[in-house]
Amino acid sequence: MEEFYKSIKAILYERISSPFYGTLILSWLIWNWKVPYVTFFVNTADIKIDKITYIIQNCNGSLCLIWGPILSTAILLTIFPLITNGAYWVTLKYDQWRINQRNTIEKKQRLTVEQSNQLRLQIRSMADDLERIIAKKEEEVKALTYERDEALQNRRDDEEINRLKDYSKKSDEVRDSYMNKLVIAEERLIKVETELKRYKDENRKKIDLENEFLEFQNDEKYFSYFDSITDCIQREVSLSQYLSNEIINYYIANDIITKINNKYDLTDKGKYFLKKYVKIKG
């Protein structure tokens, strides 16, 4: 008996949760609203006859009982999805129109002469600072080289003293002292040369990025799409949905964006460009 009740319960649940049966039941209740109203809210004394008789006499039309609910169900199941898809299509068109309008407006905006001159002055100032630092490091290298040569000379002098004084204890101490100075000088020289090379590479790379960004910024055709590309990447929207393959290929070829597993992302160069772009627009 318990299995029978479970089976009936499962059948009822399947019918109610089904879109067709759920819509049909709702349509039938709307067309025949008098039936539940009289059943639950009207007293028998008010209608002077029993409720079943009243319902049979006043709610027995085939239009309300059968054809009306069926027709409403068919309309809701066919027309409503079309309306929903149409609304979604209109939303997509509006988003595309908004992006196109923004690109059109931004395409007309160019750097002023003052902004271009300011960028050039910044790059020139960075280059001058780099030259001063390199000159200072080179002076340190020369001083350390002189110190090393002096230590070598002292070492040779120490060897001569050792030969003359038959390798006395004092000469041994002097020799060890100069040897330690020589080792320290060579270590400092290697360290300074390494730091100088690293600093040159970092600043050269930064200056190259500044020059590349300035060239990219002056390229009005492709620079105007930079905001749209970063916006699509941040919202994880497909670039091909809003941009042409020419624009996408340009950004990939110039190492501004990359594509991994069908997902676009900014490269290190692109992230640097984004920082410069936000600073300019801000």
Q: Specify the range with the lowest mean pLDDT, choosing from 28-37, 105-114, 134-143.
A: 105-114
Closest CA to 170 of 179, 182, 158, 156: 158
48 pLDDT higher than 80: no
Q: Tell me which range, 33-47, 50-64, 160-174, 268-282, is most confidently predicted by mean pLDDT.
A: 268-282
Determine contact, residues 112/237, Cβ cutoff 8 Å: no
Determine contact, residues 128/246, Cβ cutoff 8 Å: no
**Domain parsing of the chain, residue ranges:** 2-107, 125-207, 219-282
User: 226-245 pLDDT, tens per residue?
Assistant: 988 998 988 888 888 888 88
User: What pLDDT, on the 0 to 100 scale, is given for residue 171?
Assistant: 59
User: 2-12 pLDDT, tens per residue?
Assistant: 776 677 666 65
- Where helices occur in the chain by DSSP H, the ranges are 2-17, 19-31, 34-41, 44-47, 51-58, 62, 68-107, 113-164, 169-218, 220-223, 226-234, 245-253, 268-281
User: 252-269 pLDDT, tens per residue?
Assistant: 999 999 988 888 899 999
User: What pLDDT, on the 0 to 100 scale, is given for residue 5?
Assistant: 63
